[in-house]
Amino acid sequence: MMSQYWAQIRAVIRLEMKKTFLAKRGLWVYLLAFAPALMFGAHAFDVMRTRQYQHEVIAGHPVSRNLLDSIKPGMTMDEVQVKLGDPTSRRTVTTRRRTRTWLRYTDGESQYDFTFNDDELERISVHEIASLQEDKLIFATVFQFFFVRLAIFFGCVGIFMNLFRGELIDKSLHFYLLAPIRREVLLAGKYLAGLIATVVIFTTSTALQFWLLVLPYDSASVSQYMQNGGWQHLAAYLGVTALACLGYGSVFLAAGLFFRNPLIPAGIVLVWESANLFLPAALKKISVIFYLQSLCPIVAPPDRDMNPLLALLISSAEPTPAALAVAGLFAVTAVILFFGARKARTLEINYGTD
């Protein structure tokens, strides 16, 4: 019996595959999915170009990082220049009372600005050309606030909502309902087809984004990061991506059975998910984002320096352990699919007027 169901599910997936991956109206799903990759690609390109420029600069003014770090406030301009040679740039401002001078050096990774008051080194500011540390936070922010909440969310609206609704509109759903297949099995097949498509599209994008994140950095610091939690981060991001498809997929598959207009459920769910932070703890758990949030490896900065007034409204978010979060998400998905299957069982063909 199970093997029969499985064969039927595979037949449904075969029929759905083209629609989920190559829907004519589905191009925007790809744009949405790969927009962050495009952004990180542009950033990587920019960093690499700047770095190349800096390398050309230090070819003329070779300075090592050790040497740069040996400079201490209080030194004179001459002492500095003896140690480091000519700066890559120099600026002087003379007022009635004193003369200020800035000397800029670079070792190719960071930019050092030395500020002299008259002839005495007063301040050293080091500015990394690009910082993996910083970029990781940007990545975390983009991932949580754009990729999961909007890109995957609307990608699932586009793909899963259409599994039933699209065929009701095309008036071709009856072919499925006239086959010797349980409606629950049909639902499972369609859900899996949507899941395969979204997981492939969005995890590919996540992996690509991650690769572009580390691309501009030298292999030493990349492997340093990868050995120290980097792989776990990547795995977590991929996992959250897949789980987001799983959760939002079930929501919009069911929504496609209950609603004719996709904007209504999409709007309702979007508001509900966005309000999640402010909901009482019990209600928080009836959502997808709550579990995904707890699984994200790096807490995105906006959570930390949030408006204190808003922060007050947030109910105590007891940290959920990963295993529990995954189990919770599966539970929510199962409940939604259960209601979807019940609706599918009693679904009648009513395409409106012929």
Partner 1 sequence: MSVSGQEKTGPPPIEQSLVVFDNVSRFYGEVLGVNRVTLSIPPGITSLVGPNGSGKTTLMNLMTGLVRPTRGSIRILGVTPDDPEKLFRLLGYSTQFDSFPKGLTGSQFVYSFLRLFGTSHAECEKQAWKAIERVNLVDAANRKVAGYSKGMRQRIKLAQSIAHDPRVLVLDEPLNGLDPLVRAETIALFRELAAEGRHVIVSSHILHEVDMISDQVILLSNGYVVAEGKISGVRSEISEHPMQVLIRCNKPEALAARVFEQDSVVEARLHADKGGLLIKTRDADRFYRLLNQIALNGIEIESVAPADDNVNSVYEYLIGGEESTK
Which residues contact partner 1 by CB under 8 A?
4-5, 7-8, 10-12, 14-15, 18-19, 167, 170-172, 174-183, 346, 348-351, 354
Give 4 or 228: the residue with its C-beta nearer to partner 1.
Answer: 4
Amino acid type, 345: R
> Residue 7 Cβ, how far from partner 1 at the closest point, in Å?
4
The CA distance from 337 to 250, in Å, is 6
Nearer to partner 1, 23 or 138 (CB): 23
Of residues 18 and 260, the one with the C-beta less far from partner 1: 18
Q: Are 84 and 65 in contact (CB under 8 A)?
A: no
What's the closest the beta carbon of residue 350 comes to partner 1, in angstroms?
7
When the beta carbons of 175 and 278 are compared against partner 1, the nearer one is: 175
Smallest distance, Å, CB 260 to partner 1? 16
Crossing angle of helices 231-258/263-274, nearest 10°? 140
Q: How far is the CB of 33 from partner 1 (least distance, A)?
A: 22
Q: What DSSP assignment string belongs to 142-173?
A: IIIIIIIIIIIHHHHHHHHHHHHHHHHHHT-T
Evaluate whether 233 touches 297 at the Cβ level (below 8 Å).
Answer: yes
Closest of 125, 160, 140 to residue 250, by C-alpha: 160
- Among residues 98 and 171, whose Cβ is nearest to partner 1? 171
What is the distance between the terminal CA atoms of the chain, rounded to a whole angstrom?
38
Q: How far apart are CA 139 and CA 127, in angstroms?
A: 20
- What's the min distance (Å) between Cβ of 262 and partner 1? 18
